[in-house]
């Protein structure tokens, strides 16, 4: 088995462990609740559409107009005022923190096992 194959096998194992965490279970439950709450789903869809519009504007090299930035803030604030959206957002944020920690630990492992860099 190559080193890459071993790493990918460990990734599957890690995924199975993560699926057992309370944070993952809360995130999945919040997603389910969001998908089945029409009002909350529409709020999130509207926010995502607006974010996509802004991304398109930025990718075309244009600066986002101030009114567009304010509109995003207002739509986001309105969406997060909905308890289902807020619960989903918070659960997702908590799980993303775990994923960030895992990524940091992977980088730490790579750094600890990498040969020292040569100085020029």
58-90 pLDDT, tens per residue? 999 999 889 988 999 999 999 999 999 999 999
Residue predicted with more confidence, 117 or 4: 4
Q: Kindly indicate the confidence band of residue 119, based on its pLDDT and cuts at 50, 70 and 90.
A: low
Query: What are the tens digits of pLDDT across the range 13-47?
Result: 999 999 999 999 999 999 999 999 999 999 999 99
Q: How far apart are CA 31 and CA 89, in angstroms?
A: 9
- Which pLDDT band, with edges at 50, 70 and 90, does 114 fall under? confident
If 0-12 CB within 10 Å is exposed, 13-18 middle and 19+ buried, where does residue 94 land?
middle
């Amino acid at each position: 088995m190559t080193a890459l194959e071993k790493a990918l096998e460990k990734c599957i194992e890690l995924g199975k462990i993560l699926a057992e965490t309370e944070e993952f279970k809360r995130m999945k439950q919040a997603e389910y609740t969001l998908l089945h709450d029409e009002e909350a789903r529409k709020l999130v869809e509207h926010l995502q559409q607006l974010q996509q519009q802004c991304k398109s504007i930025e990718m075309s090299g244009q600066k986002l107009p101030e009114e567009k930035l304010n509109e995003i803030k207002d739509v986001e604030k309105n969406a997060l005022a909905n308890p289902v959206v807020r619960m989903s957002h918070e659960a997702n944020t908590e799980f993303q923190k775990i994923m960030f920690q895992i990524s940091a630990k992977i980088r730490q492992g790579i750094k600890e096992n990498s040969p020292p860099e040569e100085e020029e």
